[in-house]
Amino acid sequence: MNAFFSTHYRWVIVAAGGVLGCVAIGGLFALPVLLRPIAQDTGWSTTGISTAMTLAFLAMALGSVAWGSLSDRIGARPVVLIGAVLLAAGLGLASVAPSLLVFQLCFGAVVGFSASAIFAPLMACVTGWFDTHRSLAVSLVSAGMGMAPMTMSPLVAWLVQGHDWRSTLQIVAAVVAALMVPAALLIRRPPQLQQTASADAAAAAPASAGQVLRSPPFLILTLMSFLSCATHSGPIFHTVSYAVTCGIPLMVAVSIYSLEGVSGMVGRLVFGLLGDRFGAARVLTLALLAQAVVALGYAAARELGSFYAVAALFGFTYAGVMPLFAVIARENFPLHLMGTVIGGTATASSLGMALGPVAGGLIYDSFSSYVGLFVAAFALGLGAFLAAVAFGRLPKGRAMAG
């Protein structure tokens, strides 16, 4: 692949990655929009349905390192392609589930596991294609993922107005297959990876996966990922349901979620570019503190205006941290292990995301209120901020960059 083609094709990778991320996240997060319609139609509890989302994030946690490591060996394209097919199949199977347990297994295990095949391989691939404009590229892919609340979520909300939830999921499955499979075929292995592989082969002691995964920077980075996602998972998942309990109509409530997506796109780009200018670790630390404070703001939201205000700030902050984790990973660890490293942080992120849906469901079912959820999110956010402070104090050169 010549240099001219590589320079230009890398932006095709970014565009394909944005589409893949948007549709995959949109398929996964169809469940928050369908939460109440499913409960009303089936009689299943809020906690039971929410548990399907928790299981999905646990499946993502189990799959992230495996898919990431596989992409290190065979490349991102086949991994992402398999994930796209499995994701569409999982949504289709969930749509015909005859019981809550079957629904939880189909949506949780299949959809969650397949979604984990998208993020880590894509991010590892994109960081490998860019020596310059790396933060911008990662931010654009992440912004594509942030498009899901503005595109897929309103689509799901519109579909469920005229169809039952089962038919809606089937249509979403068809959309996933139609968009993700062609996009996955555009993904290519980074040319730089071959150069890095040659350099590592010539080195006396190239960094191993075991060394990297045991290093203090990796351990603290994964702790940050866990706590950060634990902070925003509950508010994200239960925003629509919380707004409806406050008397806001479903379609209007979905617009709150969509606003989070709009502001999140801006946040991803702004924080990514700030990371290039002032250092990703420093900007991430401040963003995590802001996320904690803003999450608590939902506890005071009751009217539509206050929901919009908090959603705009919350989306900006929680989404803004996302590109920075990939940038920090690329700055500190070898390229030939990027899939493994980002897969490891994605595992931690998924475990954090798994807490919010079921915790929010339990809190609401127990107290008929979501306030406790937002207080807990604030506490977890402070923990993420402190982990980021600890990461910034590590001696330089502790990670095995390559």
CA distances from 108 to 105, 140, 228, 329 (A): 5, 28, 21, 28
**82-111 per-position pLDDT tens digit:** 999 999 999 999 999 999 999 999 998 899
On whether residue 397 sits in a domain, the answer given is no
Length of the chain: 402
Q: How far apart are CA 339 and CA 190, in angstroms?
A: 12
Question: How many H-runs (helices) and E-runs (strands) does the chain carry?
Answer: 18, 0
On whether residue 40 sits in a domain, the answer given is yes
Give me the mean pLDDT over the 6-29 stretch.
Answer: 88
On whether residue 278 sits in a domain, the answer given is yes
Q: Which of 12-21, 58-67, 128-137 has the highest mean pLDDT?
A: 12-21
The DSSP code sequence of 261-320 is: HHHHHHHHHHHHHHHHHH-HHHHHHHHHHHHHHHHHHGGG--SHHHHHHHHHHHHHHHHH
Q: Which of 40-44, 80-84, 316-320 has the highest mean pLDDT?
A: 80-84
- The helix-helix angle for 46-74 and 30-42 (nearest 10°) equals 140
Q: What is the pLDDT of residue 398?
A: 47
Q: Considering only 114-123, 177-186, 388-397, which range has the smallest mean pLDDT?
A: 388-397
Domains held by the chain: number: 1
On whether residue 203 sits in a domain, the answer given is no
> In sequence order, what are the residues at sequence separation of 6 or more whose Cβ sits closer than 8 angstroms to the Cβ of residue 133?
none
Q: Considering only 96-100, 146-150, 290-294, 369-373, which range has the smallest mean pLDDT?
A: 146-150
| Predicted confidence band of residue 326 (pLDDT cuts 50, 70, 90) | confident
Give me the mean pLDDT over the 185-207 stretch.
Answer: 62
On whether residue 193 sits in a domain, the answer given is no
Q: How far apart are CA 302 and CA 102, in angstroms?
A: 35
User: In angstroms, how far apart are the furthest CA atoms of the chain?
Assistant: 65
Average per-residue pLDDT in the chain? 84
Q: How far apart are CA 23 and CA 148, in angstroms?
A: 7
Of residues 143 and 398, which shows the higher confidence score? 143
On whether residue 386 sits in a domain, the answer given is yes
For 394, the 3-state DSSP assignment is coil
DSSP-based helix, strand, coil % in the chain, nearest 5: 85, 0, 15
| Host domain of residue 60 | 8-186+209-392
**290-308 per-position pLDDT tens digit:** 999 999 999 888 889 899 9
Q: What is the pLDDT of residue 203?
A: 43
Q: Write the CATH number for 286.
A: 1.20.1250.20
Q: How far apart are CA 45 and CA 36, in angstroms?
A: 10
Q: Is the pLDDT of residue 212 over 80?
A: no
Task: State if pTM tops 0.75.
Answer: no
| Predicted confidence band of residue 6 (pLDDT cuts 50, 70, 90) | low
On whether residue 204 sits in a domain, the answer given is no
**233-279 per-position pLDDT tens digit:** 888 888 888 888 888 888 888 888 778 878 888 888 888 788 878 88
On whether residue 3 sits in a domain, the answer given is no
